[in-house]
Amino acid sequence: MQKAGFFPREFLDELKIASNIITVASRYMPLRARGRQHWGLCPFHHEKTPSFAINEQQQYFKCFGCGESGNVITLVRQLESVDFNEAVELLAKWANITIPTAKIDPEYLVKRKKKERTLDVLEEARKFYYTNLGKDARAYLNNRGITDELIEKFSLGESNTWEGVLDHLKKRGFTEPEIIDAGVASKSERGKVYDAMAERITFPIFDIFGNCIGFTGRTLSNEKSVAKYRNTAQTAVFDKSSIVYGVDVLKREKRSGGDMAGLIVVEGNVDVISLVGAGFTNTLASMGTALTQFHARIFSRFSPNIYLCFDGDDSGQKAALRAVDILAGEGLNVRVIELPKDTDPDSFVTKNGKDAFEKLVRNAKPYIDFKLDYLEKISNLDDNIGKAEYLKRAGTILSTLGNTPEVELYLAKVSKLSGVSIDGVKRTLGSAPDKQLHVARPEVKLSNNAERMVIATFLNGIEKITDINLQFSTRLYAELYGIMSDCREWRLGNLELDDFAEEDRKTIIEILELTHDELKRNFPNAFKQMKKSHASKRITELQRLYDATDDLKVRAEYSKEIAKILKEKHA
């Protein structure tokens, strides 16, 4: 990973000034200004009450739920799953700032230039294929329900010769090795170079930045010896295991106000195109590969609610069983859309239409129900051995829910099928192996009594705010502090309780009920404790930043700030 020190400090400062963190964050999520902060639902974990705060003055974000924090570069790194260099390049592109190269590592510059050249090859190939889509290929797509509008939206094309794209790219100044490295061309054992997508309809694949990084080719031949689909080979920019198909279209739909209340996840390219064509614009695909945490984290940027819709055959159902655990493990709400046997999303919606698929979506099963129903289907419940095995595996499934009320909803069903009492099923849950308890759950945080005392003292007007940079680790307290800091003369009447969620209103009322004498007596120690706690956290953060850079000037600045904080802390 490239360190920040390889970019000139002056350039990074200019980039941060030009990249207002509120503007950048708004590309990904809706924000609401409250006090000195902007608030939104955290993009890094599932939540219902906004705990993701951005301080525009300090150009810094922090989530009071999962603890993620950082500046605008950190934000883009996390949201786009890229390294430091790629985040800087993306921000520079958005801000229309030229990246200076004088102080950047020469090896990195070579790699960057090669990557840019590879993307140029692929983009030129995409345009060539798109303009060469022939009548037969277009008719084939139209007959499958893929309209001309969808062809344009997904930039579908055709490679109708074995060398046409090679000649075209060479005329544009690209060399044969560059074309091969980009995966557009392949070389035979005899040394013959040919179009890797020759005589196929081309489905360009885009990364999360909108760059064409490869292709899927679909043959029109009926010969069994010819593979129906072919993907671009592994390259510097194309890795099939970490590709989400349709993300470029989805991002455009999201920006234009498309429905992202839930995300439909399918397996293949054509499934995405058909569902988008039917009006389900909130559809993505994992490119037919096993779904990974990478895919789950990309999905989570668009919605916490996932509707998994894999093929209706047995292999599709087994793939869904693996996928739901990964998605739930990332804190996503997962439901499974069950298709009739031997159908896929494309064939179903093409044959039955939008309304029929909408009904399947409405009837999608919570993933635990899906797993239990599948287990029932494959279990032998005609004898005690089969029932015992069913009970053991059902217990393992339910144990992933932990000690939650949700478990109670499934006990009666498992009890009935296994012939074991509900208490017996509960005992089975207690003996489930710990390794199965893999579903991510939010940590339970103890209340910070010092913060409670301080915020209550300010709310009641007993003490005036003199330090507007005081840091709170509790989301609600930080939000209240921001609102109070913005008021020249703070009065309790400035607070609109109706603006807060019910749970927050209850907390505010509770802290307002603390007595005047109690607050006056405890405030000095509580305030001092908070300042020390904030100083310790800031030192830890500065130490992390110090270790993350090789720039000696930057390190010196971090050391100076650490020394200053330590001096104030022990004063």
Q: Which of 485, 413, 481 is nearest to 451 (CA)?
A: 481
Would you call 13 exposed, middle or buried from its count of C-beta atoms within 10 A (0-12, 13-18, 19+)?
exposed
Euclidean distance between CA atoms 311 and 271, whole angstroms = 10
Instruction: Determine the average pLDDT of the residues in 189-206.
Output: 94
Q: Which of 210, 222, 215 is nearest to 287 (CA)?
A: 215
Whether residue 509 has pLDDT greater than 80 = no
Query: Which range has the top average pLDDT, 201-205, 289-293, 460-464, 525-529?
Result: 201-205
Q: Is the pTM of this model over 0.75?
A: no
Whether residue 444 has pLDDT greater than 60 = no
CB 87 within 8 A of CB 71: no
Q: What is the pLDDT of residue 490?
A: 67
Instruction: Determine the average pLDDT of the residues in 447-451.
Output: 70
What does DSSP assign to residue 245?
B
Radius of gyration for the chain, computed over Cα atoms and rounded to the nearest angstrom: 28
Whether residue 221 has pLDDT greater than 70 = yes
Instruction: Determine the average pLDDT of the residues in 437-456.
Output: 56
Q: For residue range 149-192, what is the model confidence (pLDDT) as tens digits?
A: 999 999 999 999 999 999 999 999 999 999 999 999 999 888 89
Q: For residue range 89-115, what is the model confidence (pLDDT) as tens digits?
A: 889 988 888 887 655 667 767 877 888
Instruction: Determine the average pLDDT of the residues in 518-523.
Output: 83
Query: In which residue are the tokens 């004063």 written?
Result: 571
Instruction: Determine the average pLDDT of the residues in 478-499.
Output: 70
Euclidean distance between CA atoms 419 and 219, whole angstroms = 53
Distances in Å between the Cα of 358 and the Cα atoms of 149, 280, 352, 363, 373 are 22, 9, 10, 9, 22
Q: For residue range 377-419, what is the model confidence (pLDDT) as tens digits?
A: 999 888 889 889 999 999 889 888 876 777 888 888 898 888 8
CB 285 within 8 A of CB 268: yes
Whether residue 326 has pLDDT greater than 80 = yes
User: Dihedrals φ, ψ of 460, to 5°?
Assistant: -80, 0
Q: What is the pLDDT of residue 6?
A: 62
How would you list the strands of the sheet with 283-285, edge to edge? 283-285, 263-266, 305-308, 333-336, 365-366
N- to C-terminal Cα separation, the chain: 39
How would you list the strands of the sheet with 229-231, edge to edge? 157-159, 200-206, 212-219, 229-231
Dump the DSSP string for 39-96. Answer: EE--SSS--SS--EEEETTTTEEEETTT--EE-HHHHHHHHHT--HHHHHHHHHHHHT
What does DSSP assign to residue 195?
E
Residues above pLDDT 90, as percent of the chain: 34
Query: What contacts 256, CB < 8 A, 6 or more positions away?
Result: none
Q: What is the pLDDT of residue 271?
A: 96
Q: For residue range 416-428, what is the model confidence (pLDDT) as tens digits?
A: 888 888 888 888 8
Q: What is the pLDDT of residue 45?
A: 74
Lowest-pLDDT choice from 61-70, 201-210, 387-396: 61-70
Query: What contacts 339, CB < 8 A, 6 or more positions away?
Result: 309, 310, 311, 312, 316, 345, 348, 360
Q: What is the pLDDT of residue 439?
A: 34
